[in-house]
Structure 1
Amino acid sequence: MFGRKKKLLLPVETPETDQQPRVAPRSPSEAIKPMAAPPPPPRIRRRRGGLLATMSGLLTLFIAIAGAAIFGISILEKEVTAPGPLQADKIVVIPRNTGTNEIASMLKQEGVINQPFLFEAYALLNRQRGQLKAGEFQFKAGTSIEAAIDTLVEGKAILHSVTVPEGLTSDQIVRRLYDNEILAGDILETPREGTLLPDTYKFERGMTRQQIVNAMQAAQKQALTQIWGRRSTEIPVKTPQEMVILASIVEKETGRADERTRVAGVFMNRLTKRMKLQSDPTIVYGLVAGKGTLGRGITRAEITQATPYNTYVIEGLPPTPIANPGRAALEAVANPSRTKDIYFVADGSGGHAFAETLDQHNRNVARWRQIEKAKAAAGNADEVDKVEPDDDMGSVGGTSTVAQDQPAGARPGGRTGRARGFDASEGTERDPLKNKTFDLNTPKTVPALRQP
């Protein structure tokens, strides 16, 4: 009994850890429960630097400003696209060199907008402040600020027009441009005859008269180049200028589109046969120097009066055009009808009767005189002497006066009329070509060319 040693149970030492000592479970159920997680270690506060704090503050401020800007822009968009106060369409003229603030005030005064400051702000935000154009603009009823700015930026100004009829002289065209009150400025000088193309020209308010003249001259050069390039090679006209001269005579002789090529053919045949053109409008131009028309029949003295333009006296073409022909007259001369006609006279219907021989022409003249007598008997004698189609356009078909008791002549064209006239056509006893008192080669007896 004394020989057995008792085994002493000593406690087992465990290594030290940061964890709390494990407590023995008090019961089996407590033994199977999971142990609680240890608490997190305490956070060590670090001191924030100055630059980081500044950047954070600026970012916050930027976000706030951006949000406010987006909100403001949305409000601005709503305001500028809202219908304006204008109750009906209105035309407003914006003078040149007008600033944005002045334009805004002007539109406010005209009732187009009611918030001029908003107009300026929106124009500035859209970088359109310096793009607003001057001119005459039409604003629709209810035009918004945005639409008003777009109208001024796009420059869709109102276009006016000026119509220049075919057959006017350069002097008449200049006067017509001065009669237009929408055009501005002066014309430097009266253009040379035949250098302007009659047409309808569009322009904005404030455009100068000289700009219209320049446009007409450019259009004439372009048309002349095109038409001359496709001319017939059989015509006796040798230069573009000669084509313009003859086209101006054709333009003054007839106003009917279906006759132009045939009238041009008559003059081509006469040039080929070396016959005088005997065109009344050339007499008139030599007398008035392009200032207009006589407004009456041509007298005996005027038919026999030698001027550089009187084709009863001179051979071939006059020295310059007698008007500004249109595109159709130029086309007619470039490609005339292939005909043997060398005469024409008015037929009473606004057109002309053409003839290849003198006998045919005499019969046509006789019929025209019967028409004149019938009109006179019906009390319409005034219509016989009326210049066609009107004084501004010049005579069409000529204005020479042929007495009813004189033999019919061989003039290529023209109207018959007052009894105090006489037949001075080629081939008659009063043919001016038989008058040897004219010396066309001596300036002393042939009047100098009078400038318009």
Structure 2
Amino acid sequence: MSRAIASNALTIFVILLLAVAGAIAWAKSSWTSEGPLTQAICVEVPPGSSMLRVSNNLAEQGAVASASLFRMGANYTERSGLLKAGSFLIEPGASMEQIAMAVTESGRSTCGTEINFRIGVLEADMIVRELDPETQRYEEVADFIPGAEGVETPAEYTEAANATGTRFRVTVAEGATSWQVIDALKRADFLGGESGDVPPEGSLAPYSYEVQPGTDRGELVASMQARQATILEELWQERVDGLPLETPEEAMILASIIEKETGVPEERRQVASVFVNRLERGMRLQTDPTVIYGITEGEGALGRGLRRSELDRATPYNTYVIEGLPPTPIANPGRESIAAALDPASTDYVFFVADGTGGHAFAETLAEHNENVARWRQVEAERTAN
């Protein structure tokens, strides 16, 4: 009798053990297998959220088949206490494991609303846009110039700035001056602290900086300076031999001129070759952007053409008058312009002029240059006539 009881108990134990093993295997498979989601969604995780709240939200949106199983998996993988506030993109078919990683790892929002304060060479504007999870494309919600006369702050901006998960960026365009950057940062109301004095021209790296609400302006400026210093140091070490540049500072001055002279990326190294050739031959650089900087001191655009008297007047930045480089950069150049200054194209060009298409026509001789100038003047005349 006792043997029969023991045998039955053992049988039941084995069955239970197999059932548990099967349940564990099923749970593991469910945790890592493709999920039920058919279209991408954004999942909002407000500050202070619990895994219970998040799992129920995921189940309601059809991202997971079982909220309780998702919580069990999160507990088993020790992710329940790692929730990050933000807005996270969940791709179609994402497994519960992938979803858990998305809401607990980086803490960086991957979808939802983005506010980007763009500091350009003419103006600084605030753009609000939202990511459409289905198309994976951003759609513009609002675009305005903060602090501009007669411009009211859109309600869409205020709503987005106060919403959970909104990402904030400050984007500095290539060619913006240090004064323009500092002046613009004062109008970014989602930043905190003081930006401090205007840093040396050329010392701020054009880049798109992700920030948090309340980020200190001074710390952000320091980050821009550190990034630019790193770029210059790296590219200076990789410079080609024989350049007429004695210091990294001179390379930055030349890079800033290249930045202001062309908006065509493919032309940077050619433009660099013109100025390098001129420096090597003892020719004056004769570039308008330096003259303009001498007039404006980097505080905004000139807003008109240069006068003959301004081209003739001797100033430290008038490269029609002075020999060699001006004393400082005339803007904050991007990485590619710095690279062009330190690795120019191998050409014999010493002249260039606009060609009417947004680019430039280059020439080795004055005769060729005069022909290019004549063609450009014809293009200008035709445009004026139309």
The two structures have a TM-score, normalised by structure 1, of 0.53
Q: What CA distance in whole angstroms lies between the structure 2 residues aligned with 1:336 and 1:264?
A: 5
Q: What CA distance in whole angstroms lies between the structure 2 residues aligned with 1:171 and 1:108?
A: 51
Q: 1:216 to 1:96 in 2, by over 3 A?
A: farther
2:339 is aligned with 1:331: yes
Contact 2:361 2:372 in 1 (8 A): no
Aligned residue identity for 1:285: Y
Q: 1:374 to 1:79 in 2, by over 3 A?
A: closer
Q: Which residue of 2 aligns with 1:311?
A: 319
- Give matches, 1:48-87, under 5 Å: none
Q: What CA distance in whole angstroms lies between the structure 2 residues aligned with 1:78 and 1:341?
A: 66
Instruction: Pick from 283, 289, 306 the counterpart of residue 291 of structure 2.
Output: 283
Query: Which SS does the other structure have where 1:287 is aligned?
Result: helix
Q: What CA distance in whole angstroms lies between the structure 1 residues aligned with 2:241 and 2:110?
A: 45
The two structures have a TM-score, normalised by structure 2, of 0.61
| CA deviation map 1:286-325 (0-9, x unaligned) | 3333343234312345445665433345443223211222
TM-superposed deviation, 1:122? 4.0
- Give matches, 1:20-419, under 5 Å: 88-95=39-46, 98-101=49-52, 103-104=54-55, 107=58, 119-140=70-91, 146-155=97-106, 157-158=109-110, 165-172=173-180, 185-186=191-192, 189=195, 192-198=200-206, 201=208, 217-272=225-280, 274-300=282-308, 302-303=310-311, 308-337=316-345, 341-349=349-357, 350-357=359-366, 361-377=369-385, 379=386
Contact 1:135 1:204 in 2 (8 A): no
Aligned residue identity for 1:152: V
Q: What CA distance in whole angstroms lies between the structure 2 residues aligned with 1:83 and 1:258?
A: 45
Gaps of 5+ in 2: 1-9, 115-168
Query: Which SS does the other structure have where 1:317 is aligned?
Result: coil
Aligned residue identity for 2:79: Q
Aligned residue identity for 1:278: Q
Aligned residue identity for 2:289: P
State how many pairs are aligned.
316
Q: What CA distance in whole angstroms lies between the structure 2 residues aligned with 1:106 and 1:179?
A: 37
Q: 1:248 to 1:96 in 2, by over 3 A?
A: farther
Contact 2:352 2:361 in 1 (8 A): yes
Q: What CA distance in whole angstroms lies between the structure 2 residues aligned with 1:266 and 1:70?
A: 75
Q: 1:348 to 1:266 in 2, by over 3 A?
A: same
Percent identity over the alignment is 41
Contact 1:249 1:282 in 2 (8 A): yes
TM-superposed deviation, 1:163? 6.5
Q: 1:141 to 1:209 in 2, by over 3 A?
A: farther
TM-superposed deviation, 1:115? 6.5
Q: What CA distance in whole angstroms lies between the structure 2 residues aligned with 1:80 and 1:235?
A: 60
Gaps of 5+ in 1: 1-59, 380-452
Q: 1:95 to 1:313 in 2, by over 3 A?
A: farther
Query: Which SS does the other structure have where 2:99 is aligned?
Result: helix
Aligned residue identity for 1:128: R
Q: 1:111 to 1:352 in 2, by over 3 A?
A: same
Q: What CA distance in whole angstroms lies between the structure 2 residues aligned with 1:313 and 1:95?
A: 61
Q: 1:311 to 1:93 in 2, by over 3 A?
A: farther
Aligned residue identity for 1:235: L
Greater radius of gyration (CA): 1
Q: What CA distance in whole angstroms lies between the structure 2 residues aligned with 1:94 and 1:320?
A: 48
| CA deviation map 1:326-380 (0-9, x unaligned) | 33322332233555554433344431343444x6544543443333334334x1x
Query: Which SS does the other structure have where 2:331 is aligned?
Result: coil
Aligned residue identity for 1:354: A
TM-superposed deviation, 1:241? 0.9
Aligned residue identity for 1:324: N
| CA deviation map 1:375-406 (0-9, x unaligned) | 334x1xxxxxxxxxxxxxxxxxxxxxxxxxxx
Query: Which SS does the other structure have where 2:43 is aligned?
Result: strand
Q: What CA distance in whole angstroms lies between the structure 1 residues aligned with 2:46 and 2:95?
A: 21
Contact 1:136 1:204 in 2 (8 A): no
Q: What CA distance in whole angstroms lies between the structure 2 residues aligned with 1:297 and 1:271?
A: 26
TM-superposed deviation, 1:158? 1.6
TM-superposed deviation, 1:140? 3.8
Q: What CA distance in whole angstroms lies between the structure 1 residues aligned with 2:319 and 2:277?
A: 15
Greater fraction helix: 2
Contact 1:271 1:316 in 2 (8 A): yes
Q: What CA distance in whole angstroms lies between the structure 2 residues aligned with 1:325 and 1:264?
A: 13
Contact 1:81 1:145 in 2 (8 A): yes
Q: What CA distance in whole angstroms lies between the structure 2 residues aligned with 1:72 and 1:374?
A: 80
TM-superposed deviation, 1:137? 1.0
Greater fraction strand: 2
Q: 1:148 to 1:178 in 2, by over 3 A?
A: farther
Q: 1:79 to 1:245 in 2, by over 3 A?
A: closer
Aligned residue identity for 1:242: E
